[in-house]
Structure 1
Amino acid sequence: MKITVAIPIYNAERHLNVTLDSLINQTMDSSEFEVICVNDVSTDNSAAVVESYMKNHNNIKLINRTENSGGPMLPRNDAINAAKGEYILFLDNDDFIGEETLERFYKNAVENNSDVIFGKYVGVNGRKVPRSMFKFGNLPKAEIVEHNLVFSLAPHKMFNVDFIRKYGIQFNEKAVVGEDQLFVMQCYINAKVITVLTDYEYYYVVKRGHENLSFKYFPAENFYYSFNNIMTTIKESDLSPLYKTELSAAFLKRFYETSKLRRYLLTNKLTAEQKKDWLNETKKFIDNHVNDELINLLPSLFHYFVLIAQENDLQKLLMVHKQMDKVSPNQVTRVENGWIYANFKYSRKYLAYDSEYPVNHLNTSDVFVDDIVLDNTHFEISGQFYQSLLINMNVKNELILVHRSSGIEKRFKNNLLNKSGQFSFKVDYRDFVVDEKSVGPWDVFIEGIIDGYTKRRRLGQARNNDLKIKQHEEIHEAKGFIDKITHSNKEKEAGPKKEIIIDPVRSFGKKYTVRAYFTKDHDNLSFDVKMTK
């Protein structure tokens, strides 16, 4: 048996047929996979729906639990224990898979000796699904951190059965929140090979009405059970020390971004007493698992939250959170080692503090291009680069050309304007047109730099209404130019257009053309380099 498909079922009568239909229509022969449906004491006709399919499909099986487990954890474990396949795929009872999913999964899993394999998700009815791990194309051997796998911790994947049995990995019945994350992270950490496929729409995740059920309270200790275990699993694993740190930071970033924690503590969902309970458990979690090194690897958005949670001061947390929305440049005290620090003050009878916290996430920027001028040997770009929190700081601006295919960067630091927020650069084409490796598009950026803090913006989209691309008049008759600028009134009225070709540019004995243009999709400035004979 190649694959076991495990489906935990609870009151799924209305949509279970869609799930099962996607399985009976698989391109893989039905003799090569089994479907184990685990009925968690449904109160509707879910079991009858499965039984109706069993009459015509002998690879579909039904396990009826005698006691409701309260979640999908134990039904999935039942399927693991009963599985006869080499691999097990977990499928929710209201989702479905593409017709070629099992065949493609198995083929790639065998070829790559995969312990874990999953493919591109598709959201149905407005369901949001993770995407960042699929932007890299097919990954026969994916990396957890490098390929953003921590943002795909749902169990909608296929696992090698011998692998999960060898490591004794099962769904933890004590985990009322994040039980799937705990299971998948344990698999990620122990897996020799994780395969990610993007060449087909493999798994369809369906949004149902029950996802909008009202808020249900449970103690913070229960909430943290899975996440404490995940951090402990990372800490006690055989991973290298540096990778443990990187993985811990990546998971914490996901945890603070996507979990309900901040919504519970920073909104009115909980009472004051409940918030105290949650903040107390949060302090324990941070004290046990989050050191200064990890805090510095988190985005600044979470720094104040973590630091004040360590103090276990609910009122200060709520007040600083409120003040965050109103941070001004006048509050910025320093920029150091890549962090913008702002001062937060408050003084009342029962709450007073004077603290600094990073506010990088609040620093917005605008870039505006005043002029773009080209001649036979140089181009000139001038404009303004404004950063909302750094108007009182001495920010150094650099022009950066990035070769689109190789990622090679050429930096120009000779800003002709010393005023903070303004820039003017004059660049010789031969500074980036060097050899055959220079051929292809170069995209143009401006980057502001101050004590390790950098903010980069693409150039071209925001510019003077009349600005396109200009040429110096002294080269208006040069061979190979389009958009020739003459002294005729007619052509002056027409104005500059969206591209200009400079021909030739001589570098190390070879000839090149340089085309300055605005990109079609985003209207940003680029230079396209081509060799000429």
Structure 2
Amino acid sequence: MLKITAAVPTYNSEHFISRCLDSLVQQTMPNDEYEIICIDDCSQDGTVSILKKYGEQYPNIKVIEREKNSGGPGEPRNQAIRAASGEYIFFIDSDDYLGIETFERMYQFAKVHDSDIVLGKMVGVNGRPVPQAIFKESKAEADLIKSPLVYSIGPTKLFKVSLLRKYDIMFPSNIQATEDQVFVMKAYLKADKISVLGDYDYYYAVQHDGEHMTFAYVAPQDYYGAMKVIIDMIHESRLSRTDKMKFMAKFLNRHFDFSRTTDFTITIEDEQEQLEWMTELHHFVERNIPREIDKLVHSHTRLKLYFVRNNDLKGLKQFESDKENMIQFTAVKNGHIIANYPSIVPYHLSEDELVIDDRNKISHYVSKFQIKNNSFSIKGSVTHTALKPEYQSLQKLSGIWVHRERKIEKIISPVYSKDGEFEFLTKFTDLAVNEGDIGVWDFFIESDIDGYKKRARIGNSREKYPYSKHAKYIGNNGKYAYSARPYFTKTFDNLSVEIKKQEMLKVEFRNHDSDQYLTFIFPGSQLFFPKQSLLLLECNKQEFLIPIKKQISSAEGTVIQVDRNLVEQKFVPSFLQSTDIVLSINSYQTVLVPKKDVSVYFCSKNIEKKLWCFKIRKKVDLFIQSDQSKFYLTAR
């Protein structure tokens, strides 16, 4: 048995089918381990000719020419299921394409975890919207109820063929739209394990304008008939009754937000046709959706259901207009956002029924970042999308650092906050207090308006970050030396800080007789040290504190300079002529390494020295030692 069957339905695809096929034949999986079945639905252009040329060149490509146009991709996909020789089948639209490691990665993951269905991270091309929340992280087993799986019900996934054949899961041929939703929802409900991969760009979905598969007009009776099939499948599934209700609510949220129902009062101009759609939607909801679901859906879905259950097209149309201008009708009361929409007034709803907290988002912008001394400054602004501008002056802002693993929080107050403008100053020493603080801290901002609280990750909307991606502060909390590196997360581009124990760094020593300064260089490291740091030098069993004259931090590296004359007063000239400051320190015991670069170990250590007739103790942040000399970078 082959590992994978790639199923590609085509119709008038001559302008883009080559890109799709190229991505399939270039897969890193050996071509004798998978097959490509192309099912042409009576194309009127040169698609078939292109398919045949590829078939002649690649023996694992099979071309099936349908004798009659089916009107959609469903029946061609069914033919691929019947003809498949692979253990798994992957459906690809002819205008889309795959990452070249897709088959190898997905199959290996599916085999390791015995997955029935595997979703691979999708990428939108040319502005094509694709599901994102489900691909936040890879999961061997995604929970159907708790995860956003219901928002990804297109068929472009990896399915175990035996699952499809065992439960006769096919694309329904008696409808011309939403057949993919019926297919995927049935597969979801029958699968024992659904996996998600978010570690690679698996599927590229392309925004297009031309004709690809033929689609006929769908009457509202047929459309909501297909929705009834999905609801019936949920009712008949093996889920518990509680989970059935939760899953049905999630599906309805998706349906009202991302389907033909979403804005039919706007996209359909003919009022009689609007009435037909409203009537069928009314019948579908009243006959199939238990009223207890109304309490489980999102707020705007709940409010829409009042109009739908009463077959109130006029009220629904006004509601759609109201929610587009929601900030005119919202208010904060008793810790919640209340929507006093004029359209809903006739239904005499209670205040609790008018809560729309979930419709509000924090809109944020960071205008400035600054690493200064031992602190990290963030300036910016926040607004609320569902509230009038005057509410900005009433909000109390907090900055919240959340440890990603331990989930503990460290809350900071703004040094400035007015009308939504803010400045937060975080001391790195507050993030790195003990051993448990090592790890990643994610930054949130929380707004409190009269008891209504909203929290959001921030950083992805910002001015250009002024530092390199490897820029970090080097500090010491008395227990260990650490680095604090601000960065922006890969997937959502939000601000985080990584705290790590600081160990070795490469350092170079520059000594030219003509130079005014002795220079220590950390190449490729943009470092920030505590303010007024000192170098403590030891030579011939004598130690001296030398002020750092200059500290220059850039993307190319960090330079620390001390006054040559001051050093020459303390040390013999032979030290300054030495080129043997070459060692690596990986513990408190020094290990000499015969190279002309120096590795530096950041550690916590108290040193004691005599100053006149007194002994003083200094906490050391940076310690460098060679066979001739010792250097300590410390804070005053």
Is it true that 1:340 corresponds to 2:337 in the alignment?
Answer: yes
Q: Residues 60 and 428 (structure 1 numbering): CA distance in 2 closer, same or farther, change over 3 Å?
A: closer
Cα distance in 1, alignment partners of residues 37 and 474 from structure 2: 67
Cα distance in 2, alignment partners of residues 227 and 307 from structure 1: 19
Residue in 2 aligned with 1:314?
313
The one-letter amino acid of 1:21's match is D
Q: How does 1:235-246 map to 2 (within 5 A)?
A: 235-246=235-246
Q: Deviations over 1:33-55 (max 9, x none)?
A: 22222222222333333333333
Q: Residues 248 and 435 (structure 1 numbering): CA distance in 2 closer, same or farther, change over 3 Å?
A: farther
Q: Residues 37 and 284 (structure 1 numbering): CA distance in 2 closer, same or farther, change over 3 Å?
A: same
Q: Deviations over 1:441-477 (max 9, x none)?
A: 6556554568995312569999xxxxxxxxxxxxxxx
Residue in 1 aligned with 2:225?
225
Could you say what secondary structure the match of 2:280 adopts? helix
The one-letter amino acid of 1:249's match is A
Q: How does 1:2-401 map to 2 (within 5 A)?
A: 2=2, 3-136=4-137, 138-210=138-210, 218-265=218-265, 267=266, 269-327=268-326, 332=331, 334-335=333-334, 340-345=337-342, 355=349, 357-360=354-357, 363=360, 388=387, 399=398, 401=400
Q: Deviations over 1:282-331 (max 9, x none)?
A: 22232244445433333323332222111111111112332334445776
Q: Deviations over 1:135-177 (max 9, x none)?
A: 21x3232333444222222111121111110011000112322
Work out which of the two has the higher radius of gyration on C-alpha atoms and give 1 or 2: 2
Cα distance in 2, alignment partners of residues 364 and 104 from structure 1: 36
Tell me, yes or no, if the aligned pair for 1:335 and 1:450 is still in contact at 8 Å. no
Tell me, yes or no, if the aligned pair for 1:399 and 1:444 is still in contact at 8 Å. no
Q: CA deviation at 1:437?
A: 1.6
Cα distance in 1, alignment partners of residues 364 and 128 from structure 2: 35
Cα distance in 2, alignment partners of residues 101 and 511 from structure 1: 43
Residue in 1 aligned with 2:587?
none
Tell me, yes or no, if the aligned pair for 1:400 and 1:409 is still in contact at 8 Å. no
Cα distance in 2, alignment partners of residues 501 and 35 from structure 1: 53
Q: Deviations over 1:379-418 (max 9, x none)?
A: xx9x99986369799x996856333322524487999xxx
Tell me, yes or no, if the aligned pair for 2:432 and 2:482 is still in contact at 8 Å. no
Higher mean alpha-carbon deviation, 70-79 vs 397-406, is at 397-406
Cα distance in 2, alignment partners of residues 9 and 178 from structure 1: 18
* TM-score scaled by length of structure 1: 0.73
Is it true that 1:404 corresponds to 2:380 in the alignment?
Answer: no
Could you say what secondary structure the match of 1:30 adopts? coil
The one-letter amino acid of 1:273's match is Q
The one-letter amino acid of 2:5's match is T
Q: CA deviation at 1:520?
A: 7.9
Tell me, yes or no, if the aligned pair for 1:505 and 1:514 is still in contact at 8 Å. no
Cα distance in 1, alignment partners of residues 139 and 365 from structure 2: 39
Could you say what secondary structure the match of 1:174 adopts? coil
Cα distance in 2, alignment partners of residues 207 and 298 from structure 1: 30
Pairwise CA RMSD of aligned residues? 5.0
Q: Residues 161 and 530 (structure 1 numbering): CA distance in 2 closer, same or farther, change over 3 Å?
A: closer
Q: Residues 193 and 301 (structure 1 numbering): CA distance in 2 closer, same or farther, change over 3 Å?
A: same
Tell me, yes or no, if the aligned pair for 2:35 and 2:62 is still in contact at 8 Å. yes
The one-letter amino acid of 1:176's match is Q
Cα distance in 1, alignment partners of residues 214 and 87 from structure 2: 40
Q: CA deviation at 1:74?
A: 0.9
Cα distance in 1, alignment partners of residues 361 and 80 from structure 2: 50
The one-letter amino acid of 1:342's match is A
Tell me, yes or no, if the aligned pair for 2:122 and 2:201 is still in contact at 8 Å. yes
Could you say what secondary structure the match of 2:130 adopts? coil
Q: Residues 396 and 121 (structure 1 numbering): CA distance in 2 closer, same or farther, change over 3 Å?
A: closer
Q: CA deviation at 1:194?
A: 1.9
Q: CA deviation at 1:422?
A: 12
The one-letter amino acid of 1:243's match is D
Could you say what secondary structure the match of 2:262 adopts? helix
Q: CA deviation at 1:232?
A: 1.9
Q: CA deviation at 1:211?
A: 6.2
* TM-score scaled by length of structure 2: 0.62
Cα distance in 1, alignment partners of residues 300 and 481 from structure 2: 46
Q: Residues 249 and 362 (structure 1 numbering): CA distance in 2 closer, same or farther, change over 3 Å?
A: closer
Higher mean alpha-carbon deviation, 267-276 vs 351-360, is at 351-360
Q: Deviations over 1:194-224 (max 9, x none)?
A: 2222333322323332269999853212222
Q: CA deviation at 1:84?
A: 1.9
Cα distance in 2, alignment partners of residues 120 and 146 from structure 1: 19
The one-letter amino acid of 2:201's match is E
Q: Residues 15 and 101 (structure 1 numbering): CA distance in 2 closer, same or farther, change over 3 Å?
A: same
Tell me, yes or no, if the aligned pair for 2:98 and 2:203 is still in contact at 8 Å. yes
Q: CA deviation at 1:69?
A: 0.9
Could you say what secondary structure the match of 1:209 adopts? coil
Could you say what secondary structure the match of 1:298 adopts? coil
The one-letter amino acid of 1:96's match is Y
Q: Deviations over 1:507-527 (max 9, x none)?
A: xxx689998x98789997989
Could you say what secondary structure the match of 2:233 adopts? helix
Cα distance in 2, alignment partners of residues 224 and 342 from structure 1: 30
Cα distance in 2, alignment partners of residues 150 and 41 from structure 1: 32
Q: How does 1:494-533 map to 2 (within 5 A)?
A: 533=604
Residue in 1 aligned with 2:594?
none
Q: Residues 62 and 360 (structure 1 numbering): CA distance in 2 closer, same or farther, change over 3 Å?
A: same
Cα distance in 2, alignment partners of residues 172 and 260 from structure 1: 19
Tell me, yes or no, if the aligned pair for 2:332 and 2:449 is still in contact at 8 Å. no
Higher mean alpha-carbon deviation, 165-174 vs 59-68, is at 59-68
Residue in 2 aligned with 1:475?
none
Specify every segment of 5 or more residues in structure 2 that has no aligned partner in the other structure, as ranges. 367-377, 462-470, 503-602, 605-636
Q: Which has the higher strand share?
A: 2
The one-letter amino acid of 1:194's match is I
Cα distance in 1, alignment partners of residues 355 and 317 from structure 2: 17
Could you say what secondary structure the match of 2:69 adopts? coil
Could you say what secondary structure the match of 2:86 adopts? coil
Could you say what secondary structure the match of 2:340 adopts? strand
The one-letter amino acid of 1:270's match is E
Cα distance in 2, alignment partners of residues 243 and 76 from structure 1: 31
Q: Residues 34 and 281 (structure 1 numbering): CA distance in 2 closer, same or farther, change over 3 Å?
A: same
Q: Residues 407 and 268 (structure 1 numbering): CA distance in 2 closer, same or farther, change over 3 Å?
A: same
> What's the % identity of the aligned pairs?
34
Tell me, yes or no, if the aligned pair for 1:396 and 1:448 is still in contact at 8 Å. yes
The one-letter amino acid of 1:401's match is I
Residue in 1 aligned with 2:544?
none
Cα distance in 1, alignment partners of residues 457 and 24 from structure 2: 47
Cα distance in 1, alignment partners of residues 383 and 28 from structure 2: 56
The one-letter amino acid of 2:117's match is V
Could you say what secondary structure the match of 1:5 adopts? strand
Q: Residues 514 and 150 (structure 1 numbering): CA distance in 2 closer, same or farther, change over 3 Å?
A: same
